[in-house]
């Protein structure tokens, strides 16, 4: 199902991975476990965003550097899945990420490899691919640029700010979902949407109060900040309404695999912007529902068909900042 009148969403994943999801019927520490064959697919946060966007029929292009045997596996899986992509060949071996889903405890443990450093020429090639996708294709114009995930060691400090500048030079919005100093840099560059979780937000800003931390990013230059806040659901802070924020949550928490829930939320925000929706409350509504729908799926990069039903049951509240 292809959506009409929506230009292409571009996602950038500088540190992609082969995502391997193991389902374990109870984990006993220090013991051996017999498990079914894991679900293995191309991953990394931006690729997950692209996969969800593609699942729902919106035009998308996933850009990522890949290398080594794992990189070949990632490329083959993307071809099989049908997710449109541009892969930049690099010398560094593509990393792996392992999720252990304990169906007894209802918990998921994730083990992420760091990734290997890219060469200066690799970063230049990646930038060329991004520029061409954002501004070089008149037949497939871009509507939103999404930069997601961690960066490999030695990455340029201005990588995410540069994505914001490239997007704005092309007249399109930029969404950044990362952690650490990258959040601060993207805020100062004027990212249209930042999407940290509450732990990443506190770590990046040094603020103990979630409200103070989000408003600090707004003060730095971010236009909207969407925060995944665990049991509280998701919150939306916007530069145009500094006196408060929107909160969205389901009446009851869902059980399942939360891996990729944040990526589904980013996909929802990107689709909303691509459709011309800029009202924070509506973006929050979609992002929260899509995130919840991702929890119901076995692996990252897809959402349950129940996303519309979940959206209809959300509790949205306007809260004044203290």
Residues taking part in catalysis? 263
Give CA–CA dist 178/255, Å, rounded: 25
Give CA–CA dist 93/116, Å, rounded: 7
CA dihedral 215, 188, 262, 311 (to 10 degrees): 60
Give CA–CA dist 69/43, Å, rounded: 15
Max distance between CA atoms of the chain, in angstroms, equals 57
DSSP 31-84: S----PPPEEEEESHHHHHHHHHHHTT--EEEEEEE-HHHHHHHHHHHHHHT--
Residue for token pair 């700010």? 161
CA neighbor of 13 nearest in space, from 54, 42, 55, 53: 42
């Amino acid at each position: 199902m292809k959506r009409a009148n929506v230009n292409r969403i571009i996602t950038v994943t500088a540190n992609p991975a082969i995502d391997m999801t193991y389902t374990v019927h109870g984990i006993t520490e220090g013991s051996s476990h017999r498990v079914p064959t894991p679900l293995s697919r191309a991953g990394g946060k931006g690729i997950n965003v692209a996969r969800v966007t593609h699942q729902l029929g919106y035009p998308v292009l996933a850009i990522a550097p890949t290398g080594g045997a794992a990189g070949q596996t990632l490329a083959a899986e993307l071809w099989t899945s049908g997710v449109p992509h541009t892969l930049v060949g690099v010398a560094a071996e593509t990393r792996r990420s392992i999720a252990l889903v304990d169906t007894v405890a209802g918990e998921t443990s994730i083990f992420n490899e760091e990734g290997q450093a890219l060469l200066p020429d690799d970063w230049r090639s990646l930038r060329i691919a991004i520029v061409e996708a954002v501004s070089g294709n008149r037949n497939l114009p871009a509507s939103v640029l999404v930069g997601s995930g961690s960066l490999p060691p030695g990455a340029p400090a201005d990588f995410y700010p540069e994505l914001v500048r490239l997007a704005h030079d092309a007249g399109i919005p930029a969404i950044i979902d990362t952690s650490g100093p990258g959040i601060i840099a993207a805020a100062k560059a004027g990212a249209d949407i930042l999407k940290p979780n509450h732990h990443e937000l506190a770590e990046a800003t040094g603020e103990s109060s979630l409200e103070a931390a989000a408003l600090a990013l707004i003060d730095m230059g971010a236009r909207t900040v969407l925060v995944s806040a665990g049991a509280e659901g998701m919150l939306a802070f916007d530069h145009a309404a500094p006196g408060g924020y929107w909160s969205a949550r389901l009446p009851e928490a869902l059980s399942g695999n939360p891996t990729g829930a944040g990526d589904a939320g980013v996909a929802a925000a990107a689709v909303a912007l691509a459709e011309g929706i800029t009202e924070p409350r509506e973006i929050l509504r979609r992002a929260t529902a899509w995130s919840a729908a991702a929890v119901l799926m076995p692996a990252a990069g897809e959402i349950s068909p129940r996303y519309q039903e979940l959206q209809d049951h959300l509790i949205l509240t306007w809260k004044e900042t203290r």
